[in-house]
Amino acid sequence: MADKIVDQQERGRYGFGTSPAMETVLKRLTSYKLPTTGLLLVNIDTLIRNSMEKDLKIEEVAKNVCTYMTNIATDFAGALANWRTLNHNVVFYHADPFKVVPEIFRRKVNPESAMKAKAILDKILERTKNVRTQTVGNVTSRICLANEIRQPTYKGLAELCDHLAEKSVTVHMISHCPIDWHIARMGRIGILYRSYTGVAVNMTPSKLGKVAFDDERVPFYPVTHVLLGDKSFIKGLYVRDFRRTFIESAARERFVLRSEMYIRSHAKINVNLLPYTLE
């Protein structure tokens, strides 16, 4: 059963779609009993996607997203205000997820929507170019762009997080881009907060498999991601009977309990024959 979408009558402080996710972030952070370092990653493209109301012009959406970014940073800092001895970070980032995926394997995007999103992004970056990093007390907010983030994106995000906080610090992420979710593969503990529903998902291969593939029997690894694709960005290599056979094998051999190396060998996947890799 799909996660229930939160009924929003108003945009709220973070906009339609993003508000349920951010409200869950704040609720989780304020529930901690012990001082905890805050590390929040927010995909700017996700904010744009969630904010593209049909009747709003490009400039209006860009202005709204900038307001939401300010509110997110402000409220994130407020939630962690009592833990003054720790350094907290919120990162708003933009990274092209398609750089490592050949065009033939990309899901088609409405050209008009894509052009509008790109125009909105350009407006946002123009508005924020002189305030890329701001620190208030012990909380720093920053904007990181595609040319500053290593590809695939999860590797660049993991490197950024390693620079900002200890490996043991949990990454809180708001992103609709599945490539970003592989950050746990780099040894980071992470929680994904889903737009529109506000559902928090522990970023483990088994939990993310249900989100990415609509099937909890297949873990979310780079190799399974290439083979099966996802619902937003990537077409899978396995279709119809091949996909069904792979999922049956995943269920039979309990892939959700196995390592990526085990899946490669027991599913007889020759990674050298894959047309691209997310590793």
- State the pTM of this model: 0.95
Q: Are residues 153 and 257 in the same domain?
A: no
Instruction: Identify the pLDDT of residue 1.
Output: 47
Query: Domain boundary at 203, 230, 253, which?
Result: 203
Same domain, 224 and 93: no
Would you say residue 130 lies in a domain?
Answer: yes
pLDDT tens digit at each of 279 positions of the chain: 467 888 888 889 999 999 999 999 999 999 999 999 999 999 999 999 999 998 999 999 999 999 999 999 999 999 999 999 999 999 999 998 888 999 999 998 889 999 999 999 999 999 998 888 999 889 999 999 988 889 999 999 999 999 999 999 999 999 999 999 999 999 999 999 999 999 999 999 999 999 999 888 999 999 999 999 998 899 999 888 889 999 999 999 999 999 999 998 888 888 888 999 998
At residue 25, the pLDDT reads: 98
Q: How many domains does the chain have?
A: 2
- 193 with 227, same domain: the answer is no
In a domain, 209, yes or no: no
Is residue 208 in a domain?
Answer: no
228 and 191 part of one domain = no
Same domain membership, residue 234 and residue 194 = no
Q: Looking at the structure, tell me whether residues 48 and 162 fall in a common domain.
A: yes
What is the span of the domain harbouring residue 170?
18-203
What's the confidence (pLDDT) of residue 51?
97
CATH code assigned at 179: 3.40.50
Boundary (domain end) residue, out of 203, 231, 249 = 203
How many other β-carbons are positioned within 10 Å of the β-carbon of residue 193? 23
Is 157 in the same domain as 58? yes
The pLDDT of residue 147 is: 81
Do 58 and 122 lie in a common domain?
Answer: yes
36 and 86 together in one domain: yes
